[in-house]
Structure 1
């Protein structure tokens, strides 16, 4: 495959991931879930465990 095709495929994959993430978030908002519940359902950021260890 030419390099240009690989770049466009990568961009397309990133776009699809963004759309899917946004749709999941939007659907959860439409269902009336609180943003805190959405954040709790998402995997914690890598910084969270280090903050818990410090306290």
Structure 2
């Protein structure tokens, strides 16, 4: 499975592929603690503003 341009939820083997790509290309994956809709809305708005996946 190619993750290039992929949008949505990933699981199973795709998660492992994402971890491998992150290690290979030296990028981090954020861990976001969601305590309510305000939190996730802020995360999503910021991700959109800086053009970064979450």
State the TM bucket, normalised to the shorter chain. Answer: 0.3 to 0.5
The normalised TM-score by structure 2 is 0.34
Write 1 or 2 for the structure with the bigger share of helix.
Answer: 1
